[in-house]
Amino acid sequence: MIRFSLVCDNGHEFDSWFASNESYEFQIGADLVACPHCNSVKVGKAVMAPAVVARKDRSKPVAAAKQSVALVSDAGGELQRLARELHEKIVASTVDVGENFPDEARRIHDGEAPERAIRGQASLEEARALIDDGVAILPVPILPEKLG
């Protein structure tokens, strides 16, 4: 999976995940990517600067890469409803393999297990290793009422 920073013709910036650069090109060309702010399908890659970390003290570990998060004012609850709906669809259409997720996802990717939609738990390191190996995974949205 590849995360691209995108911008619409109205200047709204947002991120989106794609299976590959080819998938990005196809979806953009078919107007399948819309700005979440204004629904414009005139979307392109935003200018991105590489993340370079300079450390003076190499004895300290490097902090984990930060992930995109949002704090939204959603008075009508529409975003929460959409997140809940996506979560329910993922749960309804996948098999929970629990902590075996990294191994089972790799087995499916390698053709050693039948192809099927699964979900489960993986550490950040396990998820990154899967993505680095070309296994298309995505995070399951955590519902606000499940936090805390």
Q: Tell whether the model's pLDDT for residue 51 goes beyond 60.
A: no
Three-class HEC string of 47-75? CCCCCCCCCCCCCCCCCCCCCCCCCCCCC
Confidence of residue 132 (pLDDT cuts 50, 70, 90): confident
Confidence of residue 52 (pLDDT cuts 50, 70, 90): very low
Distance separating alpha carbons of residues 26 and 127, to the nearest angstrom:
25
**Mean pLDDT (the chain, rounded):** 79
Of 138, 141, 15, nearest in space to 84 by CA: 141
pLDDT in tens, 31-46: 888 888 888 889 888 7
Please report, in angstroms and rounded to a whole number, the separation of the first and last CA atoms in the chain.
Answer: 29
pLDDT at residue 76, as a whole number? 58
Confidence of residue 95 (pLDDT cuts 50, 70, 90): very high
Tokens of 56: 């003076």
Phi, psi of 119 (to 5 degrees): -145, 165
Mutual angle of helices 124-132 and 101-109, in 10-degree steps: 10
On whether the CB atoms of residues 3 and 16 are closer than 8 A, the answer is: yes
The whole-model pTM stands at: 0.51
Q: Is the dihedral of CA 99, 113, 140, 19 positive or negative?
A: positive
